Amino acid sequence: MATNIVITKRFRQNVIETYQYIQNTFSSKAASNFLDRIERRIDFIAGHPEAGKASQKRKNIRCVLLPPHNQIYYRFENQTIEILLLFDMRQNPKKNPY
């Protein structure tokens, strides 16, 4: 199990933007549920860092699905997990750097 989890500014910004969109479009409850799902996914990654699908574009990058429309990209090295990106899969795939 990894000892350290680092959340990047980019990931935080992705989460804030998506949270605000869900809150404005749906409800505060739906937005809160979104944050709960992210927290559970990060806990899963922490417990199983090699479970994510390996990136085809970049070495040492993995991703896990955050249903229904998002992926969380992360790097696992030297017992540290770096959470890199929350990517909405409804976007053009060319926008995904990983």
Average pLDDT over residues 50-59: 91
**Within-domain flag for 96:** no
**Within-domain flag for 98:** no
DSSP strand pairing (53-54 vs 4-7): unpaired
**Within-domain flag for 82:** yes
Average pLDDT over residues 22-34: 97
Range(s) of the domain holding residue 11: 4-89
Taking each helix axis from N to C end, the angle separating 9-25 and 28-47, rounded to the nearest 10 degrees, works out to 150
**Within-domain flag for 13:** yes
Residue 98: predicted pLDDT = 86
Q: Could you tell me which residues come within 8 angstroms of residue 88 by beta carbon, excluding any fewer than 6 positions away?
A: 18, 69, 70
Report residue 58's pLDDT band, with 50, 70 and 90 as the boundaries.
confident
Residue 97: predicted pLDDT = 80
- Specify the CATH number for the domain of residue 80: 3.30.2310.20
List, in sequence order, every beta strand (DSSP E) within 3-68.
4-7, 53-54, 61-66
Structural domain count of the chain: 1
